[in-house]
Structure 1
Amino acid sequence: MAKLRNLPAYVGRSFLGGVGAVGGTTLFMLLGLSRIFSSAKIFPRTFRQLYVIGYQSLFVILLIGIFCGMVIGLQGYYTLVRFGSVGFLGSAVSLTLIRELGPVLTAIMLTGRAGSSMAAEIGVMRITDQIDALDVLDIHPMSYLVSPRLLAAMISFPLLTAIFDVIGIVGGYLTGVLMLDINEGAYFYRIASSVEMSDVAGGFIKALVFGLLVTTVCCRQGYNTHRRRDSAGPEAVGNATTSAVVISCVLILASDYVLTSFLL
């Protein structure tokens, strides 16, 4: 009975905690975005983050993209052949990648490769008082740590999504045309006739939103490492990194559903 009486209080605390987390994350993102054009010194750090987030993730995106396209081509072929619609394989591969799998898988891969690095790096800076040192030196921590990463993510995520889409379509070509002997002209004709600019724009919008969400969550988890109640010190950095990756992946899938509802 005591547990049942405490249930409303537990639900209330959980709800208010969730609202507070959403509000805090939103304010954190807005503060980071507002500091992007605060100083020209941000751009050299942004180029560095473009290298870390974008270029260093390129090989992973190419590898995942080619195999993802090949799998979609294989599964799509054996599904469409039942209905005598093998000629539509190009449409199936391209629309699946451009509308959904391209932005989502790119964001998840970047969360694991670059997002975890953001959370760990900023978390270590927090527990070693380097962020406090920035304040002492009159350097705004958000301008120095968060804003360059937000700007780099807004550029890198859509570009890497486009690369993922293209290499995935090539993977579908390898499976469908070269391995399963589908007509090459029919494959590319269906891509050209079925993919519209709204599909491409929708994929880029998703990639941009995912980039903002992933970067904000990962940076905030690292930035607030010292405020964690479950651990302290190096253990807190590890827990913050784990939380950043898990929360980012959940938000990617949840926001994908919301965005798809509006974009369809």
Structure 2
Amino acid sequence: MQYLHNIGAYFLMIAEMFRKPTKWSVMRRLILKDIDDLIIGSLGIVAFISFFVGGVVTIQTALNINSPLIPKYLIGFATRQSVILEFAPTFISIIMAGKVGSFITSSIGTMRVTEQIDALEVMGINSLNYLVFPKFIALMLYPFVISIAMFLGIFGGMIAAVYGGFGSLEDFVT
């Protein structure tokens, strides 16, 4: 029963987030700041991890294909399938959950300790709309981060295949 009560509280918070919206000029600035902090600020670690995961998947696939009857282009195919279907979404989601979750928690926690949230409420500003809505909109761009991770994973796999001597560029692209 407690579980159903918690779900109801979450729905009430979501509904409150859309009530009494902040002025668009202020909200636009907050959304752009959160896009910079949450999405653009995460691209470095996303690029680093994706590139090397793609390379590792290619190397592991190439080393495990022993039969001369299996064509070399299957290394690129297996890398593409693995990166797109599993590794990019899974690894990047785990990394982003930790990075974005800790960033949001620390920023809102700091605002609570320094009584900035209380000040927003005293001024008549909907604190949920002011604090949560921009983060919600910024995280709508998360699929683009996953797309970048997929591209960089496949690119890292291509570099590993070509420079590791596991196949030619033409085989990998095929």
Same fold (TM over 0.5): yes
User: What are the Cα deviations for residues 60-97 of structure 1, in whole angstroms up to 9, with x where unaligned?
Assistant: 11110111111111111123334724321222111222
Shift of 1:101: 1.8
Distance 2:134 2:125 in 1: 14
1:119 aligned partner, one-letter code: T
* Matching residue's letter, 1:160: V
1:113 aligns with 2:95: no
Instruction: String of CA shifts for 1:126-153, please: whole Å, max 9, x gaps.
Output: 2333212111101111121000001011
Partner of residue 47, structure 1: 32
Is the contact between residue 20 and residue 126 of structure 2 (CA under 8 Å) also seen in structure 1?
no
Measured at CA, do residues 173 and 54 of structure 1 come closer, stay the same or move farther in structure 2, by a change above 3 Å? same
Once the two structures are superposed, residues 96-128 of structure 1 have per-residue CA deviations (whole angstroms, 9 ceiling, x without a partner) of 222222122222212222220101111222233
State yes or no: 1:178 paired with 2:158. no
Which blocks of at least 5 consecutive residues in structure 2 are unaligned?
none
Runs of 5+ unmatched residues, structure 1: 1-15, 190-264
Q: Which residue of 2 aligns with 1:161?
A: 146
**CA distance, structure 1, for counterparts of residue 169 and residue 161 of structure 2:** 9
The percentage of counterpart residues that share the same residue type is: 26
Q: TM-score normalized by structure 2?
A: 0.86
TM-score by length of 1: 0.59
Runs of 4+ in 1 over 6 A off after TM superposition: none
Compute the displacement of 1:26 (Å). Answer: 4.7
In the alignment, what sits opposite 2:52?
67
Equivalent of 2:88 in 80, 88, 102: 102
Matches within 5 A, 1:157-236: 157-189=142-174
Residue of 28, 38, 57 corresponding to 2:42: 57
Structure 2 distance, partners of 1:159, 1:36, is: 30
1:177 to 1:30, Cα distance in 2 relative to 1, 3 A: farther
| Partners of 2:72 and 2:167 within 8 A in 1 | yes
**Using a 3 Å threshold, how does the CA distance of structure 1 residues 75 and 142 change in structure 2: closer, same or farther?**
same
| Aligned 8 A contact 1:74 1:175 in 2 | yes
If asked which structure has higher relative contact order (CA below 8 Å, sep 6+), I would say: 2
- Contact 1:103–1:161 under 8 Å retained in 2: yes
Q: Is the 8 A contact 2:54 2:153 kept in 1?
A: yes
Letter in 2 for 1:86: K
Alignment match, 2:137: 151
